[in-house]
Amino acid sequence: MIHLWPLACLTTLAACLVWLAIIDLRTGYLPDPLQAALALSGFAAALVGSPVSISWQAALAGAAVNGLVFWGLRWLVSRLKGREAMGLGDVKLVAAGGLWLGPFALPYIMAAGGLLTLAGAGIAGLATGKPVWKGEMPLGPGLAAGILGTFIAALVGVPWLSLAPLSPP
């Protein structure tokens, strides 16, 4: 039996993330209006009853933690490289993902986002014969895939994935 609420949430999340990924690949930007729609729909899902059991408090904590961690990474890597290393759109995307998944999903999002971005750059480099990593690599599509993949894994109940804090023994 298909439950409509989880399907509606998945469809909304997937539509926003795919659209953002396509725009980022084409333009290098993640537009704020679409990011706002992603964030508002994530918070609304948490208020109504998240299909992956994220409370509205966990959603807000996820946005804050994810956003702060990525803003800190952006600041640190930009200082080390001497130029902007990551756009604010990536920070906002991960913060919006936190509204959908809470703060404990961040390691999964970061791992998937990083690996998928590197894989995409490698494939693009092989296809074009030019090393993509010497230029700009959009991180948004990898992060979007990480958010969507983590949501799907939580939705289907992948046993090793936990979006809740570890409880003391």
| Average pLDDT of the chain to the nearest whole number | 89
Are the CB atoms for 13 and 147 separated by under 8 Å?
yes
List all residues 6 or more positions away from 89 whose beta carbon is below 8 Å from its beta carbon. 24, 29, 30, 31, 32, 35, 140
**Residue 135 reports pLDDT greater than 80:** no
Query: What pLDDT does 71 receive?
Result: 95
Task: Classify residue 72: in a domain, yes or no.
Answer: yes
CA 46/CA 39 separation, integer angstroms: 11
CA 127/CA 113 separation, integer angstroms: 21
* Mean pLDDT, residues 16-34: 93
> Regarding predicted confidence, which is higher, 134 or 144?
144
Task: Classify residue 21: in a domain, yes or no.
Answer: yes
Task: Classify residue 150: in a domain, yes or no.
Answer: yes
Range of the domain at 112: 4-156
Task: Classify residue 163: in a domain, yes or no.
Answer: no
Task: Classify residue 165: in a domain, yes or no.
Answer: no
Query: What pLDDT does 163 receive?
Result: 82
Query: What pLDDT does 92 receive?
Result: 97
pTM score: 0.89
Provide the number of structural domains found in the chain.
Answer: 1
Question: What residue type is 122 in one-letter code?
Answer: G
Task: Classify residue 169: in a domain, yes or no.
Answer: no
Q: What is the pLDDT of residues 42-90, one digit of tens each?
A: 999 999 999 999 999 999 999 999 999 999 999 998 898 888 878 899 9
Query: What pLDDT does 90 receive?
Result: 94
Print burial letters for 128-167: b (CB count within 10 Å at least 16), e (below 16): eeeebeeeeebbbbbbbbbbbbbbebbbeeeeeeebeeee
* Mean pLDDT, residues 153-162: 88
Task: Classify residue 162: in a domain, yes or no.
Answer: no
The percent of residues in the chain predicted with pLDDT above 70, rounded, is 93
> Any idea which of 63-67, 100-104, 112-116, 134-138 has the lowest mean pLDDT?
134-138
Q: Predicted confidence band at 2 (pLDDT cuts at 50, 70, 90)?
A: low
Q: Predicted confidence band at 139 (pLDDT cuts at 50, 70, 90)?
A: confident
Give the torsion through C-alpha atoms of 106, 69, 88, 76, to 10 deg: -130
Instruction: Give the residue from 53, 46, 54, 42 showing the smallest Cα distance to 15.
Output: 42
Task: Classify residue 10: in a domain, yes or no.
Answer: yes
Query: What pLDDT does 123 receive?
Result: 80
